[in-house]
Structure formats: structure tokens, C-alpha cells
A and B are shown apart, each in its own frame.
Chain A
Amino acid sequence: MKNLTDITDKVKKNLIWKSIFRRDYRNTVRDRAMAVFGNVFLHLHPVQVRESAVKLRFTWGMGGITFFAFIILVITGVVLMFYYHPSVDQAYTDIKDLEFQVPYGVILRNLHRWGAHFMVIVVMIHMFRVFMTGSYKAPRQFNWGIGVFLLVLTFLLSFTGYLTPWDQLGFWAITVGTNMGAATPLLGYQGPFSELLHITPYNDVRFALLGGAQVAGNALLRSYIWHCVAIPLVATILMLVHFWRVRKDGGISKPQK
């Protein structure tokens, strides 16, 4: 036992350890607080939280799970990007190679796909929970709105990712999805009032979404960029606002009567 403390002493009492952890943890109030605001990740939390925040039956952990799913998706997504070309000629074979040749390609793609489905499910349940506990009520009205936008962005993230393997499933799901855009009133060529603005299949909303009148190479590139760059960026910013407002609005809601 003496040896063990010797070893831990050796490990802890040097410049490198101290430069990383700064100070010892002794389970005092002060140390528990320091653990939180001394750490950039934990710093998202206040030093102390309402008891309801740690009650699983109250929050179901859904917000956190959504965020965790997002992190998994970002990590697997970035790795997948190394193996993928958003071009009609290569996209499909890239995915095939992921299955047949890339080390850990199968598990990587599966994690990304199922993680995405999981996130969509979880984000909906999160919204349901927030509604059921009335947590959108004052002072959290604005944050509910941010949440609604994040919900929409989650759908869009998944939707844009659907096309990337360039297989029949994705191709036709996107075709069906974007065809609805053609029916937008005023701005879609099949929508009402479109004649007023001289809208044709070549200048309507759908064309803007697809970069063409049909789902083809441009659509693949667009959906790739929306999926990998634009939407994650916006979602990240909105998430920061969301988390910030959770804290500023008083943390996880508690009964207010």
C-alpha cells in the first residue's frame, strides 16, 4: 500500500501533472466547485444544479442524449468524409468500399446512420418532455423557439445525409422530398400563384435546392455541403445559444407555483 502511494505521488508530483490538473481534488465544497469551472467542458454547467436536473425521471436525459448523439455523428461523420467523394461517379462505390475494404468502415457507417435516426427520435422525445413539464413557460419561451429550430435542423441534417450514398433509396427519398418544394405557393413552379412571378422548373425553389431541375450531380454536391458544413455550423451556433439560455433562464426548470 505504501508503494502505491509512492507511485501516485511520483505520478502527481511533477510539473506535467500539475500543469494539467493544477490542484488536488479533496472532495471539499471548494474542490467540487473548482472541478466544474476549472474544466472547459464541465463549465457548461453551473457549480450547483437543481436537484431536478439529476432526476432521470424528470428530464429523461433527453437533451443531453441528443447532444451526445450529435457529437457521435460529428466524429463518425468527419471520419466518413475522408473516404467519400460527393460525385455521381464515385459516391456509390465509395460507400461500397466502406463496407468491403475500409478498416472499421462498416461499423463507422452503421454508427453514423443509426446515430442519425436515433437523434431524430430523441430530439422529438425531448420536445415532448419539455412540453409535458411546461418548461417552455416563462422565462423559457425564447429557448423553446430555439429548440424548435434545432428540431427542424435535425430533420434537415438527416434529410440531406440521405442522398449521399447515391443509391436508389436516397435518390428517390430526396426526389419525393424535394418535389414538394415544387409545390410551394408563389415560389414553386407547380404551386399556386407561381405564374405571377413567372416561375418555371428552372428558377423555382426546387431548382435552388437541387442546383438543377433534377436530382443529379449538383444536388449531390449541395446536399453534401449542407449536410457536412452549413447545417452543422448553424446547428452548433443554435446549440450554444440553447445551452447558454438553459443556464441563464435558471437551469433545468423546477416546479413554480
Chain B
Amino acid sequence: MNPFIEIITQPDNIAIVIMIFMVSFFMVWAFQQAFQNDRLIASGLPVEGENDGFVDTFKPLVRIELIIALVVMVGLTIWSIAVDAPLEEIANPTITPNPAKAPWYFLGLQELLVYFDPWLAGVVLPSLIVVGLLAIPYIDINPKGNGYYTFSERKYAIIIFSFGFFVLWLLLIVIGVFFRGPGWLWYWPWQEWDHARVVYEPTKDLTSIIGIDSRSIPGIIIGGIVVLSYLVGGMVAPYLYWKKNNPELLKQLGMVRYITITFLFVTMMAIPIKMILRLVFLVKYVWIIPWFGGINF
């Protein structure tokens, strides 16, 4: 069978296919409504629903709830009739399947293992995702766009969130499910999985590229400077920019909020940066701290 069809018709992967369709559909719908509202705002008209009143719960809301429940039930029943839940061989600790994949919704994190050590990819980054999500209402002080779809009124918030949600979360899941084969190697959908395939990538640490051993003291110092200057630079630069162009905003934000926002943002952007470094420049680590059981960035 065509390897692509083989992969997407695996029972568990059908869920991901459904997810791709659903997410794309709702993404388009959300932005379409947002742009529509933007046009209304631009021409000074009230946004969709601004002048809405109240309706009875019984029956308009109850009816719509029932219909949705029915539709969901119908959909799930069709899904369940059409596709059988997978059951593989009985668990056997001596046979490691290749690749051994986590449940699909964690495959983004597993994909990050290529670029980061497990303590970062598996523990620190997911924790930061949760913390970041929790922080959103408190760090987003833009009073506009409350209760309606809009893009123009909260461009940055939407761009950053969409980047995190669609690219760093969903896209990495899709990559993990469909593009990773034995040995966690990259396979295009039309390529057959080959268990014997070996790909040697001569990865190096950042300082090794300029000829300094990354585990030596100078290497550690240089690596440290690079990482810390990215962090500090990334957090200070906006301050300097806004101080000059929009001091009002800084005042509104306050120091705590400003630090939280920039830290989370800089951390988030570190992920694609490190991915590019790893994929394009074959950089394994930027900064190695060989002590305390090894803390590598």
C-alpha cells in the first residue's frame, strides 16, 4: 500500500486527520469573522452582536444544544462503526517498537526532544506552556477585543498565540505523527519506512564551530554569554524600543508584567531559533553546563 495512505489510515492517526480538518476549518472561520468585524470597526459600525439582546434559554438554547449533541453523537457513532480501536500485541518490555511514540497530543513535546534535553523538552517547557496560558489574562492589558472576533485591535496577542498554538503545538504534533519514522528520522509521506536506515548528522556544539571545546571553561563562558545575552537582550531591547516610542505602554504594563511577558516570549522564540540552529547549522548545544548532572541548552 502507499505508505502515505498506510500512515493516515492507522486507527489512531485518523483522529489527527480529523483534527487537522477541524482546526483548519475553525481557524478560517475565526479569522474570517475577525476580518469582517475589523471592516465594521473601520467604518465605525457596531461589531457583530454588539447590540444583541437576550433570548430565552427555553427553547432556543436548549434546542441548539440538543441538535449539537445529536450531531456529535451521530458523528462519533459513525466514527466508531467505521474504525475499530487499535489493539496491538500484548505488552512486552523486551520488544521496543521503533519508533516508540507517545500519545499523539504529546508528540509535539517528543519532537522537541530532538532539539532539547529531556528536562527542558519534557518538563520545563510544558510547565512554561501551562504557566504562560494561565498568565495570558493577566498580562494582556489590551481592553479591546473583549467578546468579539477581531484581528486589528489585538494583532500582537493573536499573532503570538497563533504561532504558539498552530506552529509550535499543532504543527509539531503533525510532524511527529506523520513525518517521523524509525529512529525518529524524517520520512516524507511518500517514503517507505526503513528500519535499517541510518542517517549520520555530524552535530556540533556552538562553540566547537569556532574551534573552542564546549566543555572547556572558555567554551562554557562563551556559551553562557550567548544564551544569557539572548535572554537579557531579548528582554531589554523591547524596553528600550518602547521607552522611545511608546512610554505610555510601559507605564501601563509595569515592571512585573513586562518581565513576565518578555521572558515568556523570549523563551517561546528560543524554540524555533534552536530548531533552526539544529536543523540548518547542525548545532547540538549552545551552552553546556557540565555540573549538577548536566544542564545543556
Contact = CB atoms under 8 A, between A and B. Distances in A.
A138 B118 contact: no
A229 B119 CA distance: 29
Given A50-B52, A171-B93, A172-B97, A184 B106 contact: no
A239 interface: no
B102 A96 contact: no
A42 B57 contact: yes
Given A137-B140, A175-B100, A255-B47, A32 B56 contact: yes
B147 A253 contact: yes
Interface in B68-106: 68-69, 72-73, 76-77, 79-81, 83-93, 95-97, 100-106
B15 A129 contact: no
A210 interface: no
Given A72-B76, A117-B15, A134-B145, A110 B85 contact: yes
A58 interface: yes
A155 B106 contact: yes
Contacts, number: 285
A106 B84 contact: yes
A175 B92 CA distance: 12
Contact of A115 (B55, B76, B158): B76
B235 interface: no
A59 to B, nearest CB: 10
Judged by DSSP, the binding face of A is helix
A257 interface: yes
Nearest to A65: B72
A137 to B, nearest CB: 4
A235 B54 CA distance: 31
A84 interface: no
B60 interface: yes
Nearest to A92: B90
A173 B103 contact: yes
B57 A132 contact: no
